[in-house]
Amino acid sequence: MSDSGAGEAASTAAAEGRPKLRHRARGFVKNRSNKQKVTGVAAVALLITAPFGGLKAEPAPKPATLHLNRAYDIGPFDVTVQKVVTVSSLSPVIKPARKHDRLLVVEALVHNRTDEPQYSSYISKAIVTKNMGARPGVADAYLVKDASSLSEQVNPGLTYRLAFVFQQARGWEPASGDDAPRLGLGRWTFQADDPLTLDPDAWVPERLLVEAPVDVKVKP
**How does residue 15 score in pLDDT terms, banded at 50, 70 and 90?**
very low
- Give the integer Cα–Cα distance in Å for 76 and 198: 20
- What pLDDT score does 92 carry? 87
Q: Let me know if residue 2 belongs to a domain.
A: no
Q: Let me know if residue 12 belongs to a domain.
A: no
DSSP label at residue 94: B
- What pLDDT score does 192 carry? 83
Is residue 109 packed enough to be buried (19+ CB in 10 Å), middle (13-18) or exposed (0-12)? Answer: middle
Q: Which residue has the higher pLDDT, 186 or 53?
A: 186
Cα angle for residues 199, 200, 206 (degrees, 5° grid): 85
User: Among 54-58, 137-141, 144-148, 189-193, which is the least confidently predicted range?
Assistant: 54-58
**How does residue 191 score in pLDDT terms, banded at 50, 70 and 90?**
confident
Mean pLDDT, all residues of the chain: 80
Q: Let me know if residue 14 belongs to a domain.
A: no
Q: Let me know if residue 193 belongs to a domain.
A: yes
- What pLDDT score does 196 carry? 61
Q: Let me know if residue 90 belongs to a domain.
A: yes
Q: How many domains, the chain?
A: 1
**How does residue 202 score in pLDDT terms, banded at 50, 70 and 90?**
confident
**How does residue 48 score in pLDDT terms, banded at 50, 70 and 90?**
very low
Q: Let me know if residue 11 belongs to a domain.
A: no
- Give Cα separations from 129 to 46, 152, 158, 177 (angstroms): 23, 22, 26, 16
Q: Let me know if residue 4 belongs to a domain.
A: no
- Give the integer Cα–Cα distance in Å for 139 and 10: 9
81 strand-pairing partners? 108
- Give Cα separations from 46 to 23, 41, 160 (angstroms): 16, 9, 33
Q: Let me know if residue 187 belongs to a domain.
A: yes
Q: Could you report the per-residue pLDDT of 55-109, keeping only the tens digit for each?
A: 445 677 899 999 999 999 999 999 999 999 999 999 888 999 999 999 999 999 9
- What pLDDT score does 193 carry? 75
Q: Which residue has the higher pLDDT, 194 or 122?
A: 122
User: Which whole number is the average pLDDT over 178-207?
Assistant: 86
**SS3 of 218, please?**
strand
Q: Which residue has the higher pLDDT, 168 or 5?
A: 168
- What pLDDT score does 1 carry? 44
Q: By residue range, what is the domain housing residue 147?
A: 21-218
How far does Cα 23 stand from its chain's mean position? 22
